[in-house]
């Protein structure tokens, strides 16, 4: 059985090999708000912005691979890629984050495991650059203003200052929720 994700077809987690099954995870907001320990996040760059993805969602990072455009697919998930024999939707988060749309076949591909309710699925997203994995002190997370923020608050849970950088903390469950695809 295949599950529709972001207007393209994606294999449910049950169709994945056992060693590829997604980990159980909570929302990014909960993961990043744990008081007893620092959280760990993968820092990527998209359109020059530093974005943090909780590592509990990251399956792997790969070099760009050939992609297949899906006719009449949304601009949010217009391609499919083959990741180790599994067909995976390739998502461009720029549209949801109000950034210019990606046209080049450069950068890296971050393969993610996402859980929405009782369903888990795998998808991939484009990143201009993958920088590093960092520990995030939940006490250092700043809230974004409700009005005037250039980033939609339902996709970004907060921000972290690191040197001259402002790192946006993504909420993968909301960012990749299929019914919100444009």
1 falls in which pLDDT band (50, 70, 90)?
A: very low
| Closest to 88 in 3D by CA, of 15, 10, 19, 12 | 10
Q: Which domains does the chain have, with CATH numbers?
A: 39-180 (2.40.50.180)
Q: What is the pTM of this model?
A: 0.74
Residue range 91-99: mean pLDDT, rounded: 86
Please give the pLDDT value at position 99. 87
- Mean pLDDT, rounded, for 74-103: 87
Report the side by side order of strands in the sheet with 129-136: 129-136, 39-46, 49-54, 165-170, 156-162
Q: How much is the pLDDT for 10?
A: 41
**pLDDT confidence tier of residue 100, bands split at 50, 70 and 90:** confident
Q: Pick the most confident of 42-51, 67-76, 96-105, 148-157.
A: 42-51
| Residue 141: DSSP 8-state | P
φ, ψ (nearest 5 deg) of residue 86 = -105, 135
Per-residue pLDDT tens for 101-118? 766 667 899 999 999 888
């Amino acid at each position: 059985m295949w599950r529709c994700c972001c207007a393209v077809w994606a294999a449910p987690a049950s169709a994945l090999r056992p060693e590829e099954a997604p980990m159980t995870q909570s929302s990014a907001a909960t993961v990043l708000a744990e008081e007893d320990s620092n959280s760990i996040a993968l820092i990527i760059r998209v359109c020059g912005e530093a974005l943090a993805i909780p590592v509990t969602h990251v399956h792997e990072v790969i070099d760009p691979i050939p992609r297949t455009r899906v006719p009449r697919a949304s601009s949010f998930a217009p391609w499919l890629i083959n990741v180790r024999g599994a067909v995976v939707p390739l998502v461009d988060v720029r549209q949801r984050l109000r950034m210019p749309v990606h046209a080049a076949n450069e950068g890296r591909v971050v393969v993610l495991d996402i859980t929405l309710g009782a369903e888990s699925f795998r998808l991939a997203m484009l990143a201009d650059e993958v920088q590093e994995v960092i520990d995030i002190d939940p006490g250092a997370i700043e809230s974004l203003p409700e009005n005037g923020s250039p980033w939609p608050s339902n996709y970004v849970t907060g921000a972290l200052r690191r040197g001259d950088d402002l790192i946006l903390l993504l909420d993968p469950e909301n960012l990749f929720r299929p019914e919100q695809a444009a």
